Structure 1
Amino acid sequence: MKVYSSNFLEVDYHADHGWLCLRCFGKLESKEFRESLEKALEFAEENQVKQWLLDFREIGSLDENEDAWLQSYLFPKIMMRLGTSNYIAIVLSEKCYEVLLKEAGKFGLKSYNSFIIINTFYNLDEASRWLKKHRINKAS
């Protein structure tokens, strides 16, 4: 199900997996990037979606402003609006992944707290398997 779409990115809800997927196709506009993630958050809140797949392979790496926005705005909003046990798989290009791996080490590419569990990948299939392993069933 399409949540948001533009020339540069799309956000889909994959009901069969129970997660939101944001996929970038090229160089992002800051306003569009933020707007798409805010729309995704609104959808996640309305539907209690607690798993996200952020596919950034095509854009290389996020610039510092967008990374800071994720850390200081989006992730805290996810925590406030969706509570605990939110899983976010971030998929980067292999080149970006290798750079981050050298800078932060393998454990630096993961974040674990009771609200958001983040893991970083360069392989989309591995990211999907990780999310499937941590699938969250909605309360009825």
Structure 2
Amino acid sequence: MVTTYFQSKAFTLLYDHTNQLGVAEAIGFLSSEEFREAVTMCVRLLEEHKPLRWLADNRQMKAIRQADQAWYAEFAFPKLRDSSIRRNATVVSEDIFNKMAVEQLMKRAPDLGDMALKDFEFREEALAWVLQPVK
């Protein structure tokens, strides 16, 4: 069963109970307030449902401000590192500025433990990979 956990004009967060999968989809440019609200809702889903899998569909997401990248690194990386997620798939953005922002963020990432991370160009491939059995 898939439920909508949170939705705004530029961000949708779903939870697939059957597959223990969180799905985050961003569209366009998110203001600092929108970005931080979206990330905070993702963290809340992680804490409440303890999913094993995560799919971030960033295909239509635009650039992330420097200040928001710094905030994400400080706020979200520790939560992600300590989360239940074991498979984390990202469908990369078509926007070059978002790609560069995410690359910069990942350079700042701490050791994420047993979490497998993988980037994809197509959502179908990302979903197939993330739904594979978790070790």
TM-score (norm 2): 0.73
Where structure 1 has 5 or more consecutive residues not aligned to the other structure, the ranges are none
Counterpart residue number, 2:88 = 88
For residues 75-114 of structure 1, what are the structure 2 equivalents within 5 Å? 75-80=77-82, 82=83, 86-94=86-94, 96=96, 113-114=112-113
Q: For the residues of structure 1 that align with 2:64 and 2:41, how far apart are their CA atoms? A: 19
- Return the letter of the residue paired with 1:90: T
1:80-99 Cα deviation digits (max 9, x unpaired): 3x25x532211113564xx7
The number of equivalent residue pairs is 126
1:9-60 Cα deviation digits (max 9, x unpaired): 1111122332111111221112222212212222221221132111111124
> Does 1:133 pair with 2:135?
no
Give the secondary-structure state (helix, strand or coil) at the position aligned to 2:131: helix
> Does 1:19 pair with 2:21?
yes
RMSD: 2.9
Counterpart residue number, 1:116 = 115
- Return the letter of the residue paired with 1:119: K
TM-score (norm 1): 0.71
- Return the letter of the residue paired with 1:117: A
> Does 1:6 pair with 2:8?
yes
- Identical pairs, percent: 23
- 8 Å CA contact 1:53–1:90 kept in 2: the answer is yes
1:86-133 Cα deviation digits (max 9, x unpaired): 32211113564xx76xx89xxx9xx98524322111211111111011
